[in-house]
Amino acid sequence: MLGRKRGALDRFRVLDLTQYIAGPSCTALLAGMGAEVIKVERPGGGDPARRLGPFPKDTPGNEHSGIFLYLNAGKKSVTIDLKHPEGRGIFLRLLAVSDLLVESFSPGAMKGLGLPVAGLRKRFPTLVIASVSNFGQYGPYREYAATELTAFAASGLMALTGDPEKPPLAPPYPLAQHVAGLTAALGILISLWTYQASGWGSAIDASLTEALTSCSEHNLTWFSHQSRVRKRSGSRHPDNHPMTILPCRDGHMGVTIGFGQWDRLSLLVGKPELADDPRFETGAGRRQLADAIDGALLPWLAERTREQVLEEAQGLGLPFGAVLDINELLEDKQNRARQYLETVESPESGRWQVPGAPFKMQTTSWKQPRAPFLGEHLGEVLCGLLGYSSADLARWRRERVVS
Amino acid sequence: MRRGAGQGRAPLEGLRIIDMTHQWAGPLCTRLLADMGAQVIKIEAPRRVDGVRYAVLPRGYQGSEPWNNGAAFQKFNRNKQSLTLDLGAPEGRRAFLRLVLTVDALVTNFSPRVMRNLEIEYQRLRRARPDIIVLAISGFGATGPYRDWSAFGTSLEPMAGLASLTGYEDGPPMRLGVAIPDPIGALHGAAALAAALLHRRATGEGQLIDLSLRESAMRLVAWPLLDYQMNGRTAERMGNAHARMAPHGCYRCKGKDAWVTLAVRSDEEWARLRQLLPPLDRGQFATTKERLRHRRELDQVVEAWTSHRTAAAVTAALQSLRIPASPVNNSKALFGDPHYLARGFFVEIATPGQGRRHYPGLPYKMLDLKGSLPMQPAPRLGRDNARVLGGLLGMRAGELGLLRRRNVIGTRPLGQ
């Protein structure tokens, strides 16, 4: 049965001009759901993510970058020099048979290549074009440089993260690039739904900063409704408690209770008298007395491992969550039972487990096969799909239009 | 003039979705679709309304109907309709099953156990409506040993491995200031639903989408997961420092609790930044390797320079040299940010009793829609009872009155 499942997007062809993480994470989602993604890479080095890492035994190699292998699973790679007139001609032929173009150059770079988005839309009226960038395609900061760190700061999330007496803190994982890729994917899918039927194209402008700001919780409404500016408050929630991280015997525990669960927490830690104390009745009241509450919880936690805490807390319906180290995700019971992890391989250097489908679709499939070698699919795409002859291909290789 | 969505229908007009979600991940997911024109019917039982209705009430709120006046509810439920319906009552259940026949999709974020108790699992619904699409959002997914565990974003961030990576050097694991698995799950859910709709249009097949918030958040940990397997390296918390860039951090600026972030990605960028800094020993910090080795000393040099300048001035100076930098913006700064203003990122919505307020708009721009989609305030509880049950299902006034008397529908939470 599994082999016969179709991907939800297996009738769409995507031309992928993206590099690094944000754009490729968008097209990785589309490829996972079955879209044919043709990655157009620069001859020579290709996507710079091929040189990012991590590398097996810390030994760099163009086909071994872990993050590249993860984000480009199942895509096809062609190498075309878009600065060469003939390369641009091949690219336009490809565009004519594609449903979607995704690019992540800095704003204006497409125009510099002689491929301005407005012009492409005129020429290919049913094409959906998505651009992913730091700050978007227009506006005063459109050309600003950014990294994960500076995007996190610009978005408003960093002001909320970290200890009050220390500098604001950013996470070390590529959050901004992933959510930007996700918002682009959402805009693309809505466009395909709407415009495919009516024969219109569409242009999506996704940015790291807007995608991240959209992940803000209530702090934006605190300000717009009450002119209150939220600040960082460590792992504690600013106006409810407990929603925090506390140490236990073998590590740390995410200690959170839902509405009306204070009495259950009091029971859990063997202090039922706390349930009757009116000072602890509301989340805001408990937040005022957070130190006292943590003081009551810590001895109980210190006697128990994460597994024991989880079992007892979840047994009472309390939404606790253990702080798991990354290596523990490999052995995690739930991940195993749901076969969450997928394998990436690099034929020369090994096989590793990576995160798999972000959601499980029951009727349609998710696929995450091997990532392409640089230029692996030149023949298949140029000759097979576009009908060029192998003599054409050989000449282009010689003239370094493709490589 | 080119025809586009701005001149015609909203992109998702004509889609009808039942929204049985509460709190954050689910309501944000359906709002992303409602913002694009889908008819989203939010269903709440009078005896158990969405708890987020009471979040972010005006300070010392003493007014009437607090459940209709919370700011957080406004943010997550604009452009939706509100139907109250108690699925625990037989009449409520019957109405629900009739409603299912008229919609394209159902979105829930109950735990799998509650789905079973309410008898609204996909396997049941598809008998009535074979091509229904059900997006079931939960903390850990609908299968596996943790499936019935309770979960909040704040407990999934640790369970997804994210909290173990976040924190100061030698400090404990930490949470971000927002419960990040919620919005990540919301975005994935909306994308999955759109893909399922495309598949249904091509094949006629509906389906179940089983979305675990934890699984969608774990997509972010590929790097340390691979590094562990490839090199046996266990990720260590290192504050704002970076393994391959220096300087890379958050530096104090002139002003109260004012900070700037900056990142130097190459020796060329460092050479440019050096022009701004006071003279250093010749050759000191010239290579990435040296800068990484003397990171603390380097951070002191940088902070000595930033601490006499505003974050805006540091950012402008670095960006003019094409070096990444940004102030650590708080919410007040965001609402006045010239870039967000120029892009129309925030939208203004007039809410009865609250006046005109600003909210984040779409998380991405669809260029044909520039500012043209109307935004409606979140509905009062039960506002659309007659429209949905009468208009859509053809119930008569007498039937609605009976449902009201039996508290199957209503416009106040029971017990209020």
The DSSP line for B48-73 is: B--GGGGTTPPTT--SS-GGGT-HHH
Instruction: Determine the average pLDDT of the residues in B186-210.
Output: 97
Tell whether B231 is within 8 A of chain A (Cβ): yes
Instruction: Determine the average pLDDT of the residues in B70-77.
Output: 90
**Residues near B124 by beta carbon (within 8 Å), at least 6 away in sequence:** none
Residue with the bigger pLDDT between B394 and B56: it is: B394
For residue A85, the model assigns a pLDDT of 95
Q: Is the pTM of this model over 0.95?
A: yes
B45 pLDDT higher than 80: yes
Q: Which residues of chain A make contact with B342, given a CB cutoff of 8 A?
A: 138-140
For residue A169, the model assigns a pLDDT of 98
User: Taking a C-beta distance cutoff of 8 angstroms, is the pair A284, A278 a contact?
Assistant: no
Task: Pick the residue of A106, A120, A352, A359 with the most B CBs within 10 A to test the interface with B by mutation.
Answer: A359
**Residues near A66 by beta carbon (within 8 Å), at least 6 away in sequence:** A53, A54, A55, A56, A344, A352, A354, B222, B223, B226, B227, B230
pLDDT band at A229 (very low <50, low <70, confident <90, very high): very high
Structure tokens at B69: 């006046």
Q: Which strands sit side by side in the sheet containing B133-138, from one edge to the other?
A: A360-361, B207-212, B133-138, B105-108, B16-20, B39-44, B80-84
Tell whether B133 is within 8 A of chain A (Cβ): no
User: Taking a C-beta distance cutoff of 8 angstroms, is the pair A158, A167 a contact?
Assistant: no
* Inter-chain CB pairs, A–B, below 8 Å: 488
A1 pLDDT higher than 70: no
User: Taking a C-beta distance cutoff of 8 angstroms, is the pair A279, A292 a contact?
Assistant: no
pLDDT band at B62 (very low <50, low <70, confident <90, very high): confident
Burial of B58 (0-12, 13-18, 19+ CB in 10 A): middle
Residue of B nearest to A214 (CA): B363
For residue A47, the model assigns a pLDDT of 97
- What span, in angstroms and rounded, lies between the C-alpha atoms of A377 and A400? 16
Task: Give the B window 152-171 contacts with A, CB below 8 Å.
Answer: 152, 154-168
> How does pLDDT run across B79-90, given as a tens digit for each residue?
999 999 999 999
Distance from the Cα of B396 to chain A's closest Cα (Å) equals 35
> How does pLDDT run across B287-331, given as a tens digit for each residue?
999 999 999 999 999 999 999 999 999 999 999 999 999 999 999
- What span, in angstroms and rounded, lies between the C-alpha atoms of A271 and A109? 63
Beta-strand ranges (E) seen in B196-354 are 207-212, 248-252, 259-263, 325-327, 346-351
Quick check: B187 and A186 CB within 8 A? Answer: yes
For residue A239, the model assigns a pLDDT of 87
For residue B12, the model assigns a pLDDT of 94
> How does pLDDT run across A26-49, given as a tens digit for each residue?
999 999 999 999 999 999 999 999
Q: Which residues of chain A make contact with B187, given a CB cutoff of 8 A?
A: 179, 182-183, 186
- What span, in angstroms and rounded, lies between the C-alpha atoms of B176 and B157? 9
Instruction: Determine the average pLDDT of the residues in A100-108.
Output: 96
A52 pLDDT higher than 60: yes
Instruction: Determine the average pLDDT of the residues in A108-115.
Output: 95
Instruction: Determine the average pLDDT of the residues in B140-167.
Output: 96
Instruction: Determine the average pLDDT of the residues in B168-184.
Output: 97
DSSP A225-267: HH-PPP--BTBS-TTSSSEEEEEETTEEEEEE--TT-HHHHHH
- Percentage of chain B exceeding pLDDT 70: 97
Residue with the bigger pLDDT between B69 and A107: it is: A107
- What span, in angstroms and rounded, lies between the C-alpha atoms of B413 and B46? 5
A197 pLDDT higher than 90: no
Task: Pick the residue of B22, B228, B299, B326 with the most A CBs within 10 A to test the interface with A by mutation.
Answer: B326
Q: Which residues of chain A make contact with B366, given a CB cutoff of 8 A?
A: 187, 190-191, 202-205
Q: Which residues of chain B make contact with A166, given a CB cutoff of 8 A?
A: 168
Regarding beta strands A360-361 and B355-360, do their DSSP bridges make them parallel or antiparallel, or are they unpaired?
Answer: unpaired
pLDDT band at B193 (very low <50, low <70, confident <90, very high): very high
For residue B5, the model assigns a pLDDT of 42
For residue B372, the model assigns a pLDDT of 63
Quick check: A363 and B331 CB within 8 A? Answer: no
Quick check: B324 and A146 CB within 8 A? Answer: yes
pLDDT band at B2 (very low <50, low <70, confident <90, very high): very low
Provide the mean pLDDT of chain B. Answer: 93
B3 pLDDT higher than 50: no
A158 pLDDT higher than 80: yes
Quick check: A364 and B328 CB within 8 A? Answer: no
A349 pLDDT higher than 80: no
Category of B75 on φ-ψ map: left (φ > 0), alpha (ψ -120 to 50) or beta: alpha
Instruction: Determine the average pLDDT of the residues in B184-206.
Output: 97
- ipTM greater than 0.90, yes or no? yes
The four Cα atoms B220, B223, B225, B227 give a dihedral, to 10 degrees, of -170
Provide the mean pLDDT of chain A. Answer: 95
Instruction: Determine the average pLDDT of the residues in A383-394.
Output: 97
B286 pLDDT higher than 70: yes
A195 pLDDT higher than 90: no
